[in-house]
Structure 1
């Protein structure tokens, strides 16, 4: 093996086919690996050399990914187990595990670190089950940096690498926790776009309804974390150990910002160097802090950029004084987590907005000229057939421009997962079972219904909504008949489900 000249390779493992089945061909987005890009910037700013292998965008097999890593021959390979939404980390694990194994088969001496939301939630299990040398217990930034330094110094003393889990013989070792990175703008100001295959990323089909080109496309964070405590969400799992290290109380979530000025520098680069028109704000909760949101809107409006942006909001976080500027800045789509029609079901998972706010918020967004993608969860703990039917009825009544029906899932790192483990509830046998669109998807059963009943209803609701004549007529008026045909094509993809093998869906 040649002498090492590269410090770090960050790998975004391939996963789209496993996660989306036939939907991955031309309907789903090809997302830039935002966390890998941020990590690359952080490490590079500390004086270390880094490359990114985006196996997902380059459609590399595990063996091809391992071969590329072997060519680069770094001191450390970090496999980044982050998805593009909070629920996306666990379903990345099969791809990540395959790459770990392939790297070790090609070069047993190559040091491999797993980092990301899923492994931060289950560090010991990840270390024991996967062919990795190390696991990062927190968000991984300081762990990665200190591990590179330790390996370059001979790798004999790992005890000072904060946030690191590793094996010492047959014993599991864990070091003291690493804090969160608080100086975002100084130490991790943006994404290392120059290390990514920018020409390969594309927006979701719905993001570009109305015959918009889906490329060029990019995604970025303007904040990290979420102050809310929905029990089905696992977004804070990589941040909790770092929060504790900084003295946060257990029920307080961190919520960190890049300034509007710094965000605009990133958008300037994307627009002027890469020609980006379609942009996703990846924040779990973007529309929250008015000063932050309006500062970014003002920056985009002042520059006159013609952008097609989507971002997430809660039903109860959109203020009237934000709407006009959001639309003028190019926020054509708002993603709303409506989740469920039942106040009782929502309250049980700490999704605490009022029933009357739903229609009011949807109407306000529409009146501002924006489109809505609404998200619903079928099969939360207090759901039964009646409440799930009510959720489908609400979706049909609101008639949002696009919707996602998710199954209730106990993701590692969420309060629902902890409760399911404590009570011995059935969970998926493999990590692919946590994918919403996978073959072996297995939702969490409710207090009244089985996993199979939940999944059967979810798949039925998808077909009912997207084949509804009233919905299709609205889409034809807004976007044209070609978009209607796109939706019909999408609805024609019937997902194969192991759990429903004997059920017609």
Structure 2
């Protein structure tokens, strides 16, 4: 096979991260940021290949052999993920891939992404790599490839790079954030990905659960203006903030996914899509004007929902909104710096559902000010809202978040292995609160999951909305008890 300049690798181990839930229930996400970087580098004249080891269940040795066969100057493992936790929880398998790449002499080896940007020096010291890319990545990789191809490479010219000089570690200042996303970042290189492999979450397709593929993802913005204590999403960007693509470019990419790849099920990967009304409604209008038949889900906050826009959003195919409710307690939310404006959560949920849009409610147990009583209040709120689907999380100290800095400062116990940061993993270790041990938080979360999904009121609602088949699917799902080392099972 012809040589390439760079192989971009998407790592993942669904069994390690999700246990039994990863076989059929979890999504197989297209690595949108890998595809964006690939498109940018290709636009700059480099020869690029992608190996999606996660989607293709490619073991580290096989992945490294495939990369080495391409004779790259650089193999770059991009540990990004489509949600914040996906980065750190994939570092265990990413490290194994890096060791295999080094053993196979698959060019120089780099790690890029959210986790490496959060802990660049530690990553350099612990992993079998030549470089860490700190920051967004595209400009760093472009400059690095240019230097590696030069007769006398000067790595000090590469922005956002960690490298070795003899026994010493060196680093350069981060590259500036990309200000004009449309100008510098082309439409993702979907042609380099195994598009037939990706599948949506089970809940995303409750209306047609037998057809979860094809599945696509598109970003309309980068970053988040908020700074919640539990979130690490801004680690590659260095600070809170948000930058937008033009609605026209976004709609163009959505149309390409729909028309060229047959994508109907679509995720908008923005940390917060429903924020800037002028932006998201222009995308909604563009989708409607093109007559695209889509099943979309996206993130919103309770306090960014505008009731007047919901009918138009539904018309565009936005069938699901994920709401970060986090806790029933305003004090607990304030302690996590959620900065949620006063809105009646129940009223907002009711207004969304009145327009036929389904809701995924996201809740966190074990935030710093949580007690057993406030966690029970949160569970009761979730059951009263009776959302079509919920995610119950434990508060985790993800590298790049302020909770991680606090955990290190306080000396709180953290997972020994990086995959212990997976919410569904066997080795998962949440944070304690001021009044609860980590074990108590995890036990409450796992019990809450089964209390919610076994609730007859919920199951009756699901059967009425989606049919008996989805009810049976959920009964089977909730029968899967996760094994937890911390809980002794």
Q: TM-score range by the shorter chain?
A: over 0.9
Query: Cα offset for 1:15?
Result: 2.0
Among 125, 129, 151, which residue is 2:122 paired with?
125
Alignment of 1:160-309 (within 5 A): 160-212=157-209, 213-240=211-238, 253-309=240-296
Residue in 1 that maps onto 2:139:
142
Partners of 1:16 and 1:56 within 8 A in 2:
yes
Residue in 1 that maps onto 2:441:
454
Among 468, 471, 478, which residue is 1:491 paired with?
478
Residue in 2 that maps onto 1:352:
339
Among 411, 419, 425, which residue is 2:412 paired with?
425
Among 37, 43, 46, which residue is 1:45 paired with?
43
Q: What is the rounded CA distance, in whole Å, between the counterparts of 1:298 and 1:466 in structure 2?
A: 36
Query: Cα offset for 1:493?
Result: 1.1
CA offsets 1:198-242 (integer angstroms, 9 cap, x no match) = 1111000000003341111101111100111111000000000xx
CA offsets 1:137-185 (integer angstroms, 9 cap, x no match) = 1111111111100110146421101110011122111112211112211
Among 66, 72, 75, which residue is 1:74 paired with?
72
Structure 1: gaps of 5 or more residues: 244-252
Q: What is the rounded CA distance, in whole Å, between the counterparts of 2:168 and 2:208 in structure 1?
A: 57
Q: What is the rounded CA distance, in whole Å, between the counterparts of 2:197 and 2:298 in structure 1?
A: 21
Partners of 2:117 and 2:133 within 8 A in 1:
yes
Is 1:113 paired with 2:110? yes
CA offsets 1:12-45 (integer angstroms, 9 cap, x no match) = 0132111111111110001100110010011111
Residue in 1 that maps onto 2:63:
65
Residue in 1 that maps onto 2:461:
474
TM-score by length of 1: 0.95
Partners of 2:226 and 2:241 within 8 A in 1:
no
Partners of 2:110 and 2:130 within 8 A in 1:
yes
Residue in 1 that maps onto 2:20:
22
Partners of 1:343 and 1:355 within 8 A in 2:
no
Q: How many residues align?
A: 488
- Give the secondary structure class of the aligned counterpart of 2:90: helix
Partners of 2:303 and 2:342 within 8 A in 1:
no
- Give the secondary structure class of the aligned counterpart of 2:213: coil
Partners of 1:343 and 1:354 within 8 A in 2:
no
Partners of 1:141 and 1:181 within 8 A in 2:
no
Q: What is the rounded CA distance, in whole Å, between the counterparts of 1:151 and 1:182 in structure 2?
A: 26
Alignment of 1:301-380 (within 5 A): 301-354=288-341, 356-380=343-367
Q: What is the rounded CA distance, in whole Å, between the counterparts of 2:91 and 2:384 in structure 1?
A: 37
Among 401, 404, 429, which residue is 2:391 paired with?
404
Partners of 1:406 and 1:436 within 8 A in 2:
yes
Q: What is the rounded CA distance, in whole Å, between the counterparts of 1:136 and 1:329 in structure 2?
A: 38
Query: Cα offset for 1:360?
Result: 1.5
Structure 2: gaps of 5 or more residues: none
Residue in 2 that maps onto 1:13:
11
Q: Which runs of 4+ in 1 moved over 3 A?
A: none
Q: What is the rounded CA distance, in whole Å, between the counterparts of 1:187 and 1:390 in structure 2?
A: 47
Residue in 2 that maps onto 1:445:
432
Say if 1:377 and 1:294 are closer, same or farther in 2 by CA, change over 3 A: same
CA offsets 1:66-86 (integer angstroms, 9 cap, x no match) = 010011111111100001112
